[in-house]
Amino acid sequence: MTRRSFLAAAGAYGAMGVFGPSLWAAMKYDRDAVLKRFRLCAVDTDARVKAGIEANRKGPMLFTFKDAAGKILENVHVKVTQKTHDFKYGADIFMLDEICDSKEKNEAYKEHFAAAFNLATVPFYWKDLEPEEGKPRYAKNSPKIYRRPPPDLCVEWCEAHGIEPKAHCLNYSGQSPDWARGDIQKEKYLLEKRFRELAERYAKRVPMWEVTNETFWGSDDKGCNFYHEPDFVEWSFKLAERCFPANKLVINEWSNLWGDTWNHRSRGRYYMQIERAMLKGARIDSVGMQFHMFFDAERAIASTRQFYDPRCLFDVMDTYAALGRPVQITEITIPAYSNDPGDEDVQAEILRELYRIWFSHPAMEAIIYWNLPDGYAWGAEPGDMAAGENRYYGGLCRFDMTPKPAFNVVKDLFGKEWRTNFERDVGGEFAFRGFKGTYELEATANGKTVRREFRINPAFPSAMEVKMGID
């Protein structure tokens, strides 16, 4: 019996939260072995992570509290509340108002997303955004396509919830519509038209755009003919720079970049692709790295050996930092393989280790998970846990939209552990270090209270004078 046939028989139970598929995982998935390298490297990893977070994610702030006459006060009660993070953390938002079988699940999806993230990857796949030439699905009331909510809907929802939308992707060749394929000049003309239209409609509302994605597929790729031209990446970024001069432009890739870089460092093909493109004048602002662990349970130990090795992770980030561009983990899937509590706990532990390592690195600027819920991934019908990417149980929430331990890990890291909130009595001069972001200060002295907003960020002043009793 294969894993697929096993899950086909048991998948319906897994979709309901019954642990049928966990029998297969228990037979094939050695949980301790998967975590082995994290645990072996724990002492060195913890030391580097703690030092990196302190140095790279936090900054200083000094307050001087004075009375109306300018005299420094002696006793002040302060309450400091962090409102936002400068660091970006998110997920794809492909299921926004897409869960048709349950209004309650649809609302829970939105509640969980807003509670856990400050960034959302919005689908701009060309073949689904404009399946018929000249009839783009921008508007909220556009015809539905599964896992492809219209951009207007996504951007409006993000703006209403203080979440930054990120576009995925301008020129993803494998996702080009059939009508846009032909001779290379035609394809370029249509790409220019697409870039211009998207810029006119969204450039001021969507700060960050992935320009190219997954450009290492072989010669049998079904994308556009232009994909096979040597200047595909450079041309795409130069066009994006013309159309989106004030936006951040991101390159994105999956193809074995972690193992390839671990083995070859600056001679890895993705590194050399980026370096060559920049030398030829392409403005690449950020380097995107995917991290999908799409390996079956029986292959998990061998296949994830480098991915779950802290030495490899740090080495890859150090290598790409040499390009002088910030790095993003753009797409993440960590399998649980079932709804068994033990499997879900391992998923959460892996995710915590990875997020700590990534967050600590000076080059990192964003960490973005992929699918928030189980059962709504690519390549399968909703709830079919034996097909497509559903079979990995890689969401942060279950199919019924209840949070897994992995969801709580992400939410608590950014909402509690990596957030600076405190209340205490201080002297007239008070300094502290906090996570970079926006804050609210509430200070009380001699029966008078003032409130101020401030920001911890190298681009902003690291000191503030507060006069009590003066609004």
Do 334 and 269 share a structural domain? yes
Residue 7 has what pLDDT? 44
Do 307 and 230 share a structural domain? yes
Summarize pLDDT for 372-409 with one digit per residue, the tens.
999 999 999 999 999 999 999 999 999 999 999 999 99
Residue 222 lies in a domain: yes
Do 310 and 217 share a structural domain? yes
Q: At 437, which CATH number? A: 2.60.40.1120
Do 72 and 32 share a structural domain? no
Do 213 and 158 share a structural domain? yes
CA dist 212 and 197 (Å) reads: 17
Expressed as residue numbers, the domain containing 449 is 58-83+420-467
β-sheet bridge partners, residue 329: 289, 367
Do 149 and 167 share a structural domain? yes
Do 435 and 323 share a structural domain? no
Residue 185 lies in a domain: yes
Do 463 and 329 share a structural domain? no
CA dist 25 and 46 (Å) reads: 30
CA dist 26 and 170 (Å) reads: 42
Do 345 and 447 share a structural domain? no
Do 463 and 358 share a structural domain? no
CA dist 287 and 319 (Å) reads: 12
Q: Which of 273, 292, 284 is nearest to 170 (CA)?
A: 284
Summarize pLDDT for 12-39 with one digit per residue, the tens.
444 444 444 554 444 466 889 999 999 9
The residue out of 405, 439, 459 marking a domain boundary is: 405
Residues 6+ apart with CB under 8 A from 104: 401
Residue type, 261: T
CA angle 341, 88, 390 (to 5 degrees): 35
Say if CB 269 and CB 218 are below 8 A apart: no
Say if CB 273 and CB 232 are below 8 A apart: no
Residue 412 lies in a domain: no
CB atoms within 10 A of CB 274: 20
Residue 155 has what pLDDT? 99
Residue 358 has what pLDDT? 99
Residues 6+ apart with CB under 8 A from 82: 419, 420, 421, 434, 435, 437, 438, 439
**Buried b / exposed e across 286-304, counting CB within 10 Å, b at 16+?**
bbbbbbbbeebbbebbeeb
Residue 410 lies in a domain: no
Q: Is the dihedral of CA 19, 345, 411, 330 positive or negative?
A: negative
Q: At 266, which CATH number? A: 3.20.20.80
Do 158 and 110 share a structural domain? yes
Residue 415 lies in a domain: no
Q: State if pTM tops 0.85.
A: yes
Cα-only R_g, the chain: 24
Do 383 and 347 share a structural domain? yes
Residues 6+ apart with CB under 8 A from 108: 397, 401
- Please tell me the total count of domains within the chain: 2
Torsion of CA 227, 231, 235, 237, to 10 degrees: 90
Residue 195 lies in a domain: yes
Residue 345 lies in a domain: yes
Backbone angles phi, psi at 167, to 5 degrees: -90, 135
The residue out of 379, 405, 431 marking a domain boundary is: 405
The residue out of 355, 378, 405 marking a domain boundary is: 405
CA dist 219 and 227 (Å) reads: 9
Residue 4 has what pLDDT? 46
* Mean pLDDT by groups of 10 residues along the chain of 471 residues: 44 44 55 94 98 98 96 97 99 98 97 99 99 98 98 99 99 96 97 99 99 86 86 99 99 88 87 98 99 94 94 96 99 98 97 99 99 98 98 98 99 99 97 98 96 96 90 58
Residue 301 lies in a domain: yes
β-sheet bridge partners, residue 251: 212, 287
Q: How far is CA 170 from CA 192, 214, 243, in A?
A: 10, 12, 11
CA dist 348 and 405 (Å) reads: 6
Place of tokens 């703006």: 159
